[in-house]
Structure 1
Amino acid sequence: MRFEHVTLGQRVRFGTGLAAENLAAEVDRLGARRVLLIAEDGIAPEVTSKIHVTAHCTDVAPHVPVGHAERARALAAESEADLLVSVGGGSTTGLAKAVALTTGLPIVAVPTTYAGSEATNVWGLTEASRKTTGSDDRILPVTVVYDAALTASLPPELSIASGCNALAHCVDSMWAPRTDPINQALALAGIRALSSGLRLIGDVEGRELMFHGTYLAAVAFASAGSGLHHKICHVLGGAYDLPHARTHTAILPYVLAFNAPAAPRAADGITEALGTELTTLYSEIGASHVLHGVPDAAEAARLILPAVPPSNPRPVTEDDLTALLAAASAGRDPREWSRA
C-alpha cells in the first residue's frame, strides 16, 4: 500500500437548533467586526440574530455566473468586510467562495441543503454557458455550522435530490483521480449515513444523519477530486443551466452502472454501504433518474469528452457519453442500459 493523502483543515460546529449560537461564537472567535452576509432574501434572519451584519448580498444564482461574482466582490470591498458568512445551499456557498477567491476573506458557512460545497476547496464560475471549476485552499470555509433544523422546510423532492447529490460525492470519491484508501473509507461511511438518512428524511434524526454523511462525502471528495460523474454534471449545468441537485441525482445511477464492471471492488463496497442497489434505494425514496433539459445528447457528449478524467476506471468515448445521456434522458433502467 502506497499513497499520499491530503486532508483539509476546518472547524465544524454541529447541533440542531444551535445555528445562531454557534455562528455568533465563530464570529467572536475570529474577531470579525464587518460581516458580509451572503444569503437569499428571507433565508437567514433567525441564524444571524446574534451577530451584527454590515452588508447583505442576495445576488445568488445557480452555477455562480461571473457577473454575480463581480458584484459580490464589489460589495465586499465597498463594505470593507473582514468575514463572509454564507447561509444557504450550494449556490450561496459558491458565491461566497467566488468572493474569497479574489479577496482572501475567510468564510463561515451555514448550509441549508446537503450540497457539501461548504467542506471542499472547489470553486465554480459560469460564463457564456461554460462552467469553469478549480481548487484553492483559500476558499475553504474556516468553519461549517451544521443545524438540522435549517433543512426542515426543504420540500421533500429537493431534500432527496440534494441528498443524492451528496451520495454522488461519495461514489465519485471511490475512483476519482486522487482517490486513496482514506478517501474511500470516508466515502463508504458517508454512504452508510446518507442511505440511512434518506430513508428517515422527514425526521430530525434523518436530517442529522444527512448532514453527517454530507460532511464525510465532501471531505472525501475534496481530497479525491472530481471523477466522471462530476465532470459530466458540471459541463451540463454550465451549458444548459440545469438544476444542480436534480441533474446529479439523474446522472449518478448511469455513471455507477458504467464504471462498476471496471471497478468491481469499489462497486461492491458502494452496494454494501447502501444496503441495497442504488436503483432500489431510488425506488424506496422516490428519487428520479430521468435527466431533463439536454436537447442533444451528441452535442453534450462532445462538450463533456475533453473534461473526462484519464484515470476513470473504464475508458470513455464520445459514443459512450452520448449513449449514457440518451439513456438518462429517456429514463431507461440504468442496469439494463449498462448491459446494452
Structure 2
Amino acid sequence: MQPFEYTANPGRVVFGSGSIKKLGDEIKRLNKSNPLLLSTPQQKDQVQALESILKDASITPAGLFSEATMHTPTHVTDKALQYTKDSGADCVVSFGGGSTIGLGKAISIRTGLEHVCIPTTYAGSEMTPILGETADGKKTTRSDPKILPGTVIYDVDFTMTLPEALSATSGVNAIAHAVEALYARAGNPVMTLFALEGIKALASSLPIIVNNPKDVDARSKAQYGAWLCAMCLGSVGMALHHKLCHTLGGSFNLPHAETHTIVLPHAIAYNAPKIPEVMKQLADVLPESDGDTIKGLNILLTKLKVKRGLKDFGMKEEDVDKAAEIAVSNPYWNPRDIEKEPLRETIRRCWAGEEARADL
C-alpha cells in the first residue's frame, strides 16, 4: 500500500427526515441566540418557515438576507456583510444549495461567525473548507479549515420538491467531487471508500428520482451519497474537472451544476490514459458500464435527461479558445499534463454537447 496522510475535517452532521426540528437545539448547542438566515430569492418563502421552528426554541432570527446567487459574487457578499453587522447576528444559517452555502461561508470566514447549513440540493459545498468567489468576471478559490461549516442538518424533506432536472445535475455535480478524489494527489484509502460508496449511491438513485421525484428512499440515498462525495472534495483537493468548471462558470456565467454535469465525462476521458485503475474502480460502481467507465457515464447522463452542451446555456463557439487559454494559464495539479490542443478539443466537445470518448 502506498503511504498516505489523512486529516479528518471537524464538523457535526445531523441526518434524517424531520431533523430540521433540531435547528434550535443546534444553535443553542453553539451558545448562540440571534441567527441570520440566508437564502436565494427563490427560496425566501421556504426559509421563512424556519422562523416558527426557531420560535418554538425561544430563538428570534436576526433577519433574513435572501440575495444569495451563484458563483458567490463579492459585491453580494459585501452587501450581506453590512446586513449581518446591522442586524447584530451572532451566527449564520444558510438554507439552500451551493449559492447560499457559499455566501454563508464568505460571511463566516470574514466575521468568524458560526455557520449552520441546511442543504436542499446535492451540491456538497457544506462539507468542504473551500470557498469560490467571483469578482470582475473571474472565479477564484481558496481553502481554509475555518471556511468549513460547523454544523450541517441533512433533512431529506427539503429535497422532495427539488425539480427533477436540478436533482439530476446537482447529483452529478456531487459525483464529480468523488471522481476527482480517486486520483487526487493527496488521495488516501479512506476517501476512496467514501468516493466509491457515494458514486454508487448516486448513480443508482438519481435515475429513480428523475422518473419518480417523490420516492423518499431514493431521495435519502441520494442525499447520503452526496454527503460522502462532498466529504471527498473537502479532504483531497481538485484537478482538471474542477479547474474547467471554475473557468467556464466564472468567466462565462454558466450555471454551476449543469456545467459540472456536462464537463465530467469529458474530463475523465481526458485523464483516462493516466488513471487505468481508477477507470476500473469507476466502471465497477456505474450501472450498465460493462467495464467501460465512459460508456457508463454516457448511459447515466442519457437516463437523467440532462442537457449535454454548454451552448445550451449561452456559451458561444468563439469562447472555446478563450476558455482554453484561461484553463492552461494557472492549471491545477492533474494526473495527465495539461496540453492546450487536447484541452481545447475537450472544451469544444463540452460546448457542442457531444458524447464523451477517450481518444485524445
TM range (shorter): over 0.9
Partners of 2:268 and 2:308 in 1: CA distance? 12
The equivalent position to 2:75 in structure 1, one of 67, 71, 75, is 67
Q: Tell me which residue corresponds to 1:330.
A: 352
Q: Is the 8 A contact 1:66 1:126 kept in 2?
A: yes
Shift of 1:288: 3.0
Shift of 1:177: 3.2
Q: Tell me which residue corresponds to 2:236.
A: 224
Shift of 1:221: 1.1
Shift of 1:17: 2.8
The yes-or-no answer on 1:289 pairing with 2:290 is no
Q: Tell me which residue corresponds to 1:38.
A: 38
Shift of 1:233: 0.3
1:260-279 equivalence runs, <5 A: 260-275=272-287, 276=289, 277-279=296-298
Partners of 1:263 and 1:178 in 2: CA distance? 15
Paired residue type of 1:46: A
Partners of 2:49 and 2:202 in 1: CA distance? 27
Q: Tell me which residue corresponds to 1:253.
A: 265
Q: Is the 8 A contact 1:116 1:166 kept in 2?
A: yes
Paired residue type of 1:138: K
TM-score, normalised relative to structure 2: 0.90
Q: Is the 8 A contact 1:170 1:221 kept in 2?
A: yes
Q: Per the alignment, in what secondary structure is the counterpart of residue 47 of structure 2?
A: coil
Q: Residues 18-73 of structure 1, C-alpha deviation per residue, up to 9 Å, x if partnerless? A: 31x12122012112111111113213133342112112111211101111111111
Partners of 2:117 and 2:36 in 1: CA distance? 12
Q: Please list every run of 5 or more consecutive structure 1 residues that lacks an aligned counterpart in the other structure.
A: none
| Percentage identity across paired residues of the two chains | 38
Q: Per the alignment, in what secondary structure is the counterpart of residue 50 of structure 2?
A: coil
The equivalent position to 1:169 in structure 2, one of 177, 181, 185, is 177
Shift of 1:314: 1.2
The equivalent position to 1:93 in structure 2, one of 90, 97, 101, is 101
The yes-or-no answer on 1:316 pairing with 2:353 is no
Shift of 1:13: 0.6
The yes-or-no answer on 1:24 pairing with 2:24 is yes
TM-score, normalised relative to structure 1: 0.95
Q: Residues 278-335 of structure 1, C-alpha deviation per residue, up to 9 Å, x if partnerless? A: 111112222333223332211110011133223x121111212210011111122212
Q: Per the alignment, in what secondary structure is the counterpart of residue 87 of structure 1?
A: strand
Q: Is the 8 A contact 1:253 1:289 kept in 2?
A: no
Q: RMSD of aligned C-alpha atoms? A: 1.3
Q: Is the 8 A contact 1:199 1:206 kept in 2?
A: no
Q: Residues 197-250 of structure 1, C-alpha deviation per residue, up to 9 Å, x if partnerless? A: 212212111111111011100111111101110111011111011100000000
Q: Tell me which residue corresponds to 2:147.
A: 139
Q: Per the alignment, in what secondary structure is the counterpart of residue 141 of structure 2?
A: strand
Paired residue type of 2:309: V
Q: Tell me which residue corresponds to 1:339.
A: 359
Paired residue type of 2:238: S
Shift of 1:184: 1.6
Paired residue type of 1:8: N
Paired residue type of 1:320: P
Q: Is the 8 A contact 1:12 1:144 kept in 2?
A: yes
Q: Tell me which residue corresponds to 2:292.
A: none
Q: Tell me which residue corresponds to 1:6.
A: 7
Change (3 A) 1:128 1:191: same
The equivalent position to 2:330 in structure 1, one of 303, 307, 311, is 307
Q: Tell me which residue corresponds to 2:218.
A: 206
Q: Please list every run of 5 or more consecutive structure 2 residues that lacks an aligned counterpart in the other structure.
A: 55-59, 290-295
Shift of 1:185: 1.6
Partners of 2:23 and 2:204 in 1: CA distance? 28
